[in-house]
Amino acid sequence: MIPLAISLADLQAAGRRIAPHLRHTPLLDAGPLPGGEPGSRLTLKLENLQVTGSFKARGATNKVLSLPPEQAARGLVTASGGNHGLGVAFAGRLAGSSVTIYLPANVPPAKAAKLERWGARVVWEGEVWDDANRAALEAASREGLTYVHPFADREVIAGQGTVGLEILADAPETDLAVVAIGGGGLISGVATTIRHLRPGTRVVGVEPTGAAKIHDSLRAGRVVELAAVSTAANTLAPRRSDEMNFEIIRETVEGVVLVTDEEMREAARWLWFEAGIAAELSGAAAIAALFSGRMSLSGIRSACAIVCGAGTDGLV
């Protein structure tokens, strides 16, 4: 077995570091597991109720609060599909740092406005996250800012892994975790936590059919960059992940299920009508995968789907 890049001590330290600032989000019993065996249950980890509306505040806060004060004081910069930028803006406020967020054109204007309300400077660059990220890296070099990667960073991954710590604390019987994949930070952290604490639990990733970068990378046996992405779930739409995330995912994740945008919309509508939960498309991806029937639920007694982000784009 390949040693995991993030230790249990790293995950526990992240939990202690962010606990005074972030929420231990609810785990909702959503009833029988769709398509599961009799008696099996589905729980929802409601990260849409996290500070800033998504799990991204966890990784960003752990990273920024891990920085030497003089490094944070130089100012923070990143590129984002929206949610990571909000997390960095929140963490920057905690640290007293200025924050610049580069956004691609596929980010909804409402998220840009929310970033500005958190005090961040917003710069629009390119069509997709990868374009904005190149500009953010150039700005970090040019202006001496501290760059905060949204997924390929040990402290960020450890922060996202605290979602897994909470799931297993609240429902230790969980034997399947279903996790949406954007760049791969959330699933890297959650799967690492589960491997450390409950290695028999299955972890399955979910990507849009129009942004299948990890799915295709696992098939190729290496990190691949998509020629283009075509999904309305912009927070799941980098063209490329990173070697760090790919290696963790290859070691700890069973596989990746692909879902369509319409399947995510149907799942978002189900969340709204069933439980009054307003989830963006990415936030409904895990539910869409369970509803799709494309994964085996044999032997599963307690499945957890992470509702990773708030929004209303899935309801229109």
Does one domain contain both 195 and 213? Answer: yes
The alpha carbons of the chain give a radius of gyration, in whole angstroms, of: 18
Does one domain contain both 129 and 238? Answer: no
Q: For position 312, what pLDDT does the model report?
A: 83
CATH of the domain at 89: 3.40.50.1100
Q: For position 314, what pLDDT does the model report?
A: 66
Task: Tell me which DSSP letter residue 21 carries.
Answer: T
Does one domain contain both 266 and 311? Answer: yes
Q: Is residue 70 part of a domain?
A: yes
Structure tokens, 26: 């609810």
Q: Are 300 and 33 in contact (CB under 8 A)?
A: yes
The residue length of the chain stands at: 316
Q: Is residue 3 part of a domain?
A: no
Would you tell me how many other CB atoms lie within 10 Å of the CB of residue 27?
Answer: 17
Number of H helices, E strands in the chain: 12, 10
Q: Is residue 198 part of a domain?
A: yes
Q: For position 305, what pLDDT does the model report?
A: 98
Q: For position 198, what pLDDT does the model report?
A: 97
- The range of the structural domain enclosing residue 111 comes to 56-147
Closest CA to 86 of 124, 48, 123, 112: 112
Q: Is residue 91 part of a domain?
A: yes
Low-confidence ranges of the chain (pLDDT < 50): 1-2
Does one domain contain both 161 and 289? Answer: yes
Q: For position 247, what pLDDT does the model report?
A: 96
Q: Is residue 2 part of a domain?
A: no
Does one domain contain both 169 and 43? Answer: yes
Give the contacts of 100 (CB within 8 A, at least 6 positions apart): 75, 76, 77, 78, 120, 121, 122, 123, 136, 139, 145
DSSP string, 165-187: HHHHHH-TT--EEEEE-SSSHHH
Residue where a domain stops, chosen among 80, 113, 147: 147
Does one domain contain both 86 and 42? Answer: no
Does one domain contain both 180 and 303? Answer: yes
Residue where a domain stops, chosen among 114, 147, 180: 147
Structure tokens, 97: 């740092």
Does one domain contain both 173 and 268? Answer: yes
Tell me how many domains the chain contains: 2
Does one domain contain both 267 and 300? Answer: yes
Structure tokens, 85: 């930028």
Does one domain contain both 118 and 63? Answer: yes
Q: For position 81, what pLDDT does the model report?
A: 87
Q: Are 256 and 273 in contact (CB under 8 A)?
A: no
Residue where a domain stops, chosen among 147, 172, 198: 147
Q: Is residue 76 part of a domain?
A: yes
Q: Is residue 118 part of a domain?
A: yes
Give the span between the Cα atoms of 96 and 74, in whole angstroms: 10
Q: For position 295, what pLDDT does the model report?
A: 93
Does one domain contain both 49 and 169? Answer: yes
Q: Is residue 75 part of a domain?
A: yes
**Residue pLDDT, tens place only, 211-229:** 999 999 999 999 999 999 9
Does one domain contain both 87 and 228? Answer: no
Reported pTM: 0.95
Q: Which residue is listed with tokens 């990746």?
A: 256
